[in-house]
A and B are shown apart, each in its own frame.
Chain A
């Protein structure tokens, strides 16, 4: 009996949760992209333009010296960077502009984060898919060797970004400099993120260290999914999973802590 009641409660809560998330998604889209010109399409046009620009610059400079084709390498690298950077970056200021909405009981701090995270992940994913498809049709990008590997890599990176986003968003809600420090760190972290190198290219001792950076593991797996046997990818899925699980716990603790201390406007 009690089980039935609990299931009904859960179903009701789920409906409310989805309603709130839907409302917040629309709210974020309106202020972020507006109703003018292409509106919501900026979600993926913006990252596409960025990646496109980077491809153009790299092609011109042409510092790339391996057998690997340049364009797919850049697309996979920058798309992963955009995924974690935009997703985490949007959480730093997720709370302040939405604070007044906490007056509505079912709108909770975690919903602000989830709405922004979903929007950014959707944007980065659509951008990556569109870009790969267009470049694939133009013959500039190979068909994926194993698309499942790519999807798993992408989802693991999205999961990682969601957790880090919530941790950094919660931290900056109670301590403003956290957001600024993250911005600096994310720039410094860029060359270490795995976007610009393959682990196979670096010395064996550095390889072990590089694999301790979770974004490196994700990028390696993504590239193995694309290039297949043409590269020798290094990654540790078990390690990624453990890191993500631990960060999930940290994220939920951080958000629940902030939810109690934060006040509506």
Chain B
């Protein structure tokens, strides 16, 4: 389970303090599939990063009782001067995974070819997303945090993601942020709307969309 209790996150800007999350509560159980809706800048990615533990809240509490992935997003997770392969090794070491099992899978799945031996800073955002996705599939998580990345890549990559993530790992929990309504409709059983620092939960995706459209 992941539990968020009255989570507050503020950022310092030149114009003063900006409160992004202002007392967010959420419970994610094993196998839950939750979509997060919200306008640009509503704090969806911040919420995902706080759930993952990549950022710490200013107030409130985050409890994790399952293995939660890092935020699968366009940015982050990789050190730019290291090659893709060295980043894979780094992540294996951090999560205690075996190179021998992970590396062949990542090479095959990411379809980076010889680029896996080039520095990550030379990658396109699509290549990064593919690498991030591939590594996260090679390490066992109970909950995947997905920030837009599944909307990347061509139809074939989509199909691969669908098979690896949504079919093979359909028992895992997933938190999905996407601007594409069909992504969330297709994969989530419920959805939340993030607006003005607060998270509103809806028991079905359509009700969430109705609320989101009325904002």
Q: Is this pair of chains taken from one and the same complex?
A: yes
Interfacial residues, chain A to chain B (CB-CB below 8 A): 19-20, 22-23, 26-27, 30-31, 97-98, 100-107, 259-261, 263-265
| Interface contact A100-B93, CB-CB below 8 Å | no
| Interface contact A104-B12, CB-CB below 8 Å | no
Given A103-B54, A104-B91, A105-B53, also A31-B70 (CB < 8 A): no
Please classify how large the interface on chain B is, using the bins under 10, 10 to 19, 20 to 34, 35 or more: 20 to 34
Partner of A104 from the list B54, B58, B73 (CB cut-off 8 Å) is B54
| Interface contact A23-B90, CB-CB below 8 Å | yes
In the bound complex, CA of A264 to CA of B53 (Å): 11
Given A100-B78, A101-B90, also A19-B71 (CB < 8 A): no
| Interface contact A19-B79, CB-CB below 8 Å | no
In the bound complex, CA of A26 to CA of B96 (Å): 14
| Chain A positions within 8 Å of B55 at CB level | 102, 263-264
| Chain A positions within 8 Å of B95 at CB level | 19, 104
**Residue of B55, B73, B86, B94 with most partner-chain A CB within 10 A:** B94
In the bound complex, CA of A19 to CA of B58 (Å): 27
| Chain A positions within 8 Å of B75 at CB level | 100, 264-265
- Whether, in the assembled complex, B181 has its beta carbon less than 8 Å from a beta carbon of chain A, the answer is no
> Among residues 80 to 117 in chain B, which have CB atoms less than 8 Å away from a CB atom of chain A?
80-82, 86, 89-91, 93-96
**Nearest neighbor of A262 in chain B, beta-carbon distance:** B55
Given A27-B79, A31-B81, A264-B55, also A105-B68 (CB < 8 A): yes
| Interface contact A19-B90, CB-CB below 8 Å | no
Please report whether the interface of chain A is mostly helix, strand, loop or mixed according to DSSP: helix
| Interface contact A105-B52, CB-CB below 8 Å | yes
Partner of A97 from the list B12, B54, B80, B89 (CB cut-off 8 Å) is B80
Interfacial residues, chain B to chain A (CB-CB below 8 A): 11-12, 49, 52-56, 58, 68, 70-71, 73, 75-82, 86, 89-91, 93-96
Given A31-B82, A102-B54, A263-B55, also A107-B94 (CB < 8 A): yes
| Chain A positions within 8 Å of B77 at CB level | 100-101, 103-104
| Interface contact A100-B70, CB-CB below 8 Å | no
**Nearest neighbor of B75 in chain A, beta-carbon distance:** A265
| Interface contact A100-B76, CB-CB below 8 Å | yes
| Interface contact A26-B70, CB-CB below 8 Å | no
| Chain A positions within 8 Å of B58 at CB level | 260
Partner of A100 from the list B11, B52, B80 (CB cut-off 8 Å) is B80
In the bound complex, CA of A195 to CA of B108 (Å): 56
In the bound complex, CA of A259 to CA of B55 (Å): 8
**Nearest neighbor of B70 in chain A, beta-carbon distance:** A103
| Interface contact A27-B90, CB-CB below 8 Å | yes
In the bound complex, CA of A106 to CA of B89 (Å): 16
| Interface contact A261-B79, CB-CB below 8 Å | no
| Chain B positions within 8 Å of A27 at CB level | 79, 82, 86, 90
In the bound complex, CA of A103 to CA of B45 (Å): 12
CB distance from B208 to the nearest CB of A (A): 27
| Interface contact A259-B70, CB-CB below 8 Å | no
